[in-house]
Structure 1
Amino acid sequence: MKFDGVLFFPVTAYTDAGEVDAQLTAEHIASRLTFSPGAVFAACGTGEFHALSATEVATVVRSAVSAVNKAAPVIAGTGGALGHAIECARGAADAGADALLVLPPYLVGHPIAGTLAYVDAVIAASDLPVIVYHRGSATLTRDAVRRLVDNERVIGLKDGVGDIGLAHEIARIVQNSGRDDLSLFNGLLTAELTQEAYRAIGVPLYSSAAFAMIPQVADAFYQAYVAHDDARCAQLIDEFYTPLVRLRDAVPGYAVSLVKAGVRLGGLPVGPVRAPLVDPTPEHTNELRRILDSGRNLVAA
């Protein structure tokens, strides 16, 4: 499976009663397809996987598959408690997903052998290939990466650790394996800020939460990135992404909450975030509105 374009992590919409709104989720996803995302990662981090039941994950994935209609691969989130991860994997396969993003297991201390056993159990739950998220309680060692690379069902590794030296070693392990079907992703928060460094070490792909709320800016950055237009990338980072990151860092969880607020500011009533996340304050919402307006003006100019 090849990925070409911005990796889109949509939000999950809720009704006024707090239930998953499948129709509005599909509308949100469909509205971004004109910007040609390289893949749609449904019910993952930005989509509040942590707050969804296995049944709700399947509902979100089904909405994404319907909306995308084969225009791009649909990758479904799975993770958490092992039983929950297995249910999510099976539900995603039934819903028509193309692959799984394996998020870290439930927060419990365990050795790397346990992480690999967890990934193996998720792989065994369906016929779908998997992308393994390298972060948190699923931080990988070099030997673990070699083991994963030997498994043809593993088609990607997503780095959320941010250790550029280790990421370089992982990239070299993959390159030396001879596998040209295994993709590497920069999965850090607001990955646009670090992507030029990741590309330099052999990690060409990145996830974009901003794409969910302001796709025209995310696409402008991506087009400048692939064209090696360093001046344009720097301008977008200085005038849009850096102010956004400052606001994101003001409150834990804003990496998701701000994106969902941005979608609402764009006119789609996708509802609030679920606990334990909190929605932005009125003051922060106004600051987000200003940042988004600035981004639109940059693209228009």
Structure 2
Amino acid sequence: MDLHAALVPPLSFPLTPFTDDDRLDGEVFAAHVDQQIAAGTTAVFVACGTGEFTALGREEYRQVVAIAVKTSAGRVPVLAGAGGGPAIAREHLADATAAGADGILLLPPYLVGSTPEGVLDHIRYVVRDSALPVIVYQRANARLSPATALALLDLEPVIGLKDGIGDIEQMQRIVATVRTSDHPRAGGFHFLNGLPTAELSARAYRAIGVGSYSSAVHAFAPDLAHAFARALDNGDDALVDALLAAFLLPLADLRDQVPGYAVALIKAAARLEGIPVGPVRPPLVEPRPEHVAELARIVAAGRAVLAERAARG
């Protein structure tokens, strides 16, 4: 399946459901993925950050990818996270390939810091014989320079770079270096905004040529995620600003109160929506009751913005 036409925001990063006795709930996961596709996403990224990649055992990882591929049934591409140390990341890549995934999101290497050149060598090691297209996730200890980002174009499996650092000037340098190079793959190389609650920075990233973004909001409120994306595409600044003020900024403020809430709050919001995704695994912590109540109020405020707009025609 061709990924190049499928990386249209808002991209879905489904949650991984667990039962109360700590088992992967494949039935709920299949229903969740199906709902995400039916809501209009053009690609699903499973077993990634929102999907608690680091909490999954290898067999659970295989099951998650296989269930997503079966559920998608070719409707949209399925990309799977791969990460950890270089050898482990290659195992994930092999498992995802065997399960029928359409692509890989290569997460940062485990723990070890390095130079941009060292990160590039890590990517080379992982993807050297990949049969799947790979998007590299620049985040935390995986930081590239403009020169090493340009070198990604020499790695045939690598089709894009997702940024989770948020240094706009550095990202502008990377985008400009790639786009203005004479490399034959420069024009078709993909850049994605992967910051938490990426809608907050979507305007800024668009200004430097990064139009696509991941949306954790899509995992629990695809109606809000798509409304925001349409408003952004249509230049509807009034609706963009209203959704930022009523929904996205308060959501980010709540997220920032506790480490790990970038995932735990999304799971709590999904449960509020009636999706039985169960608890997070440690070291993530469940949101406090007062925070869940505030979360419900924030989501309702976002939908009130849409209702008011609909009422005005």
| TM-score for the superposition, normalised by structure 1 | 0.96
- Which residue identity is paired with 1:280? P
Among residues 169, 189, 195, which one is paired with 2:202 in the alignment? 195
- Which residue identity is paired with 1:256? V
The 10-residue stretch of structure 1 (171-180 or 145-154) with the greater mean CA deviation from structure 2 = 171-180
- Superposed CA offset, 1:207-258 (max 9, x none): 1001101110011001111111111111100110011011001100000000
Residues 290 and 43 of structure 1, relative CA distance in 2, 3 Å threshold = same
Among residues 291, 299, 304, which one is paired with 1:292 in the alignment? 299
Q: Does the CA contact (< 8 Å) of 2:107 and 2:137 recur in 1? A: yes
- Superposed CA offset, 1:24-77 (max 9, x none): 111111112222112111000000011112222221111111222222111100
Distance (whole Å) between structure 1 residues aligned to residue 11 and residue 89 of structure 2: 22
How far is the alpha carbon of 1:109 from its aligned partner?
2.6
**Partner of residue 281, structure 1:** 288
Check if 1:239 corresponds to 2:243.
Answer: no
**Partner of residue 80, structure 2:** 76
**Partner of residue 106, structure 1:** 110
- Superposed CA offset, 1:109-130 (max 9, x none): 3233321222122213531111
Give the root-mean-square deviation of aligned CA atoms: 1.3
Check if 1:215 corresponds to 2:222.
Answer: yes
Check if 1:33 corresponds to 2:30.
Answer: no
Q: Does the CA contact (< 8 Å) of 2:87 and 2:126 recur in 1? A: no
Among residues 97, 100, 110, which one is paired with 2:101 in the alignment? 97
How far is the alpha carbon of 1:84 from its aligned partner?
2.1
**Partner of residue 59, structure 2:** 55
Q: Does the CA contact (< 8 Å) of 1:193 and 1:237 recur in 2? A: yes
Q: Does the CA contact (< 8 Å) of 1:55 and 1:91 recur in 2? A: no
Distance (whole Å) between structure 1 residues aligned to residue 22 and residue 276 of structure 2: 12
Q: Does the CA contact (< 8 Å) of 2:43 and 2:78 recur in 1? A: yes
**Partner of residue 134, structure 1:** 138
Give unmatched runs, 5+ long, in structure 1.
none
Among residues 72, 75, 85, which one is paired with 2:89 in the alignment? 85
- Which residue identity is paired with 1:45? G
Distance (whole Å) between structure 1 residues aligned to residue 117 and residue 227 of structure 2: 42
Q: Does the CA contact (< 8 Å) of 2:193 and 2:213 recur in 1? A: yes
The 10-residue stretch of structure 1 (259-268 or 82-91) with the greater mean CA deviation from structure 2 = 82-91
| TM-score for the superposition, normalised by structure 2 | 0.93
Check if 1:149 corresponds to 2:156.
Answer: no
**Partner of residue 7, structure 1:** 11
Q: Does the CA contact (< 8 Å) of 2:120 and 2:148 recur in 1? A: yes
- Superposed CA offset, 1:273-300 (max 9, x none): 0000001011111111111112222223
Give the secondary-structure state (helix, strand or coil) at the position aligned to 2:246.
helix
Distance (whole Å) between structure 1 residues aligned to residue 126 and residue 43 of structure 2: 21
Give the secondary-structure state (helix, strand or coil) at the position aligned to 2:180.
helix
Q: Does the CA contact (< 8 Å) of 1:32 and 1:212 recur in 2? A: yes
Q: Does the CA contact (< 8 Å) of 1:8 and 1:212 recur in 2? A: yes
Distance (whole Å) between structure 1 residues aligned to residue 170 and residue 65 of structure 2: 32
- List 4+ stretches of structure 1 deviating above 4 A: none
Distance (whole Å) between structure 1 residues aligned to residue 138 and residue 252 of structure 2: 22
